[in-house]
Amino acid sequence: MRDRGGHGAARRDAFLLAICAGLALIALAMPRVWSASLVASVRRSVLRPLVAIQARAEQDRTARFSLAAIQFSRDSLAQIVLAGDAVRQENENLRELVGLRARVTRPYVAAEVLHRPTPTDARMLLLGDGQARGIEAFDPVVTAEGLVGYVWNAGPHSAAALTWQHPEFRASAVTGDGRVLGMISPLTSGENGQVVLQLRGVALRDSLALGTLVYTAGLGGVYPRGIPIGSVESMELDVLGFERVYRVLPLVNPGMVTHVIVITTPRDSVFLPLPGASARR
């Protein structure tokens, strides 16, 4: 029975092969117009599902490559936009620094910030100049907006600057009219650990309006008198009740600084006029 079944299957295969060969010969002998019409009819009827599957596969392949091209274009555009913003910000800093140079009357060094930390964590900055250009420890570091900090240590060709966000930062401060003195120090506030400044040591008889600008007082031999620090944002509660404490919003974000000016010979400068001195006269 098995031999008969195998023999019958072989006969059917041979018969189908003969039919296919005959159809092929007929198709070759048919005129081109007839053969094209026949092929089109077969494609529209018998082979239509296969043609649809092939078309769908081609669309999927094309869509996959198109998506990759779109993603590449989007990423490239994002990089261009980010680079443009960074260059624009750096150009603005440089223009402001050029304007600051005209206002600085004592020796200074313009330095580039080599290591720029994140805007929320900028306790230390690495400057691209050092002792070879006259930068020494405790030299003030400023921008066109105001105070950044001071040089912590200096090497031959680089220097590390401690900014106002560092816990060890301190500076004597005074209002623009010279009426109120105090001490500026960093303050970590909020759940996100945002660092601002606080003005301590203000006498109870003195009060400051919101928005009052605070400057360096020139005491201590580090910062010259009159460098803008920030503006009064709110009044804090002193637990002991011996002084007034104010929260000060800094004018400079060290994490966004690209270029700075290092003042090389500050020393004491309490004799210099403050911005509010002329208005008081």
**Do 133 and 10 share a domain, yes or no?**
no
The reply to whether 85 falls in a domain is no
Strands, E assignment, 155-206: 159-163, 171-175, 181-189, 194-202
Query: Which token pair is 77?
Result: 């555009």
Looking at residue 152, which CATH number applies to its domain?
A: 2.40.10.350
Query: Given a cut of 50, is residue 1 above it in pLDDT?
Result: no
**Whether residue 237 sits in one domain with residue 171:** yes
Given 46, 64, 79, the domain boundary residue is: 46
Domain count, the chain: 2
Residue 224 CA to residue 139 CA, distance in Å, equals 10
Q: Which of 41-45, 173-177, 219-223, 275-279 has the lowest mean pLDDT?
A: 275-279
Residue 113 lies in a domain: yes
Q: Give the C-alpha separation, 63 to 223, whole Å.
A: 63
Specify whether 138 is located in the same domain as 35.
no
State how beta strands 124-127 and 213-216 pair.
unpaired
CA neighbor of 221 nearest in space, from 136, 120, 103: 136
Please give the pLDDT value at position 280: 47
Place of tokens 């260059």: 87
- For range 40-65, the mean pLDDT: 67
CA dihedral 93, 85, 163, 167 (to 10 degrees): 160
What DSSP character marks residue 275? T
State how far the Cα of 81 lies from the Cα of 239, in Å rounded to an integer.
49
Residue 94 lies in a domain: no
4 pLDDT higher than 60: no
Residue 11 lies in a domain: yes
pLDDT digits (tens, 9 = 90+) for 106-121: 678 888 888 666 655 6
Measured CA to CA, the distance from residue 252 to residue 256 in angstroms comes to 8
Nearest alpha carbon to residue 252 among 180, 110, 146: 146
Residues 158 and 265 placed together within one structural domain of the fold:
yes
Residue 174 has pLDDT above 90, yes or no: yes
Task: Say if 76 falls within a structural domain.
Answer: no
Are residue 39 and residue 116 in the same domain, yes or no? Answer: no
pTM of the model: 0.60
- Residue for token digits 């911005």? 275
Lowest mean pLDDT among 15-24, 47-56, 88-97, 223-232: 88-97
| Of 181 and 236, more confident | 181
Neighbour tally for 8: CB within 10 Å: 10
- CA gap 215, 232 in Å, rounded: 11
Most confident of 2-6, 93-97, 272-276: 272-276
Q: Are residues 42 and 114 in the same domain?
A: no
Give the position of tokens 């026949």: 38
Does 137 lie in the same domain as 41?
Answer: no
pLDDT at 116: 63
- Both 150 and 28 in one domain: the answer is no
Q: How confident is the model at residue 229 (pLDDT cuts 50, 70, 90)?
A: very high
Question: Does residue 70 fall inside a structural domain?
Answer: no
281 pLDDT above the threshold of 50: no
* Domain-located, residue 75: no
What is the CA angle 92-196-142, rounded to 5?
40
CA dist 91 and 89 (Å) reads: 5
Q: Based on the domain organization, do 118 and 248 belong to the same domain? A: yes
Cα–Cα dist 173/246, whole Å = 12
* Residue whose pair of structure tokens reads 């907006």 in the numeric block: 145
> Which residue has 């690209």 as its token pair?
258
How far, in Å, are 35, 108, 239, 261 from residue 220 at the CA level? 102, 19, 28, 20
Task: Answer whether residue 79 is part of any domain.
Answer: no
Task: Return the structure tokens found at 58.
Answer: 């081609």
Same domain for 154 and 266, yes or no, is: yes
Domain co-membership, 111 together with 236: yes
Length of the chain: 281
**Res 177: pLDDT:** 86
- pLDDT at position 268 over 60: no
Asked whether the predicted pLDDT for residue 219 surpasses 80, the reply is yes
Owning domain of residue 260: 104-271
Residue range 41-56: average pLDDT?
69
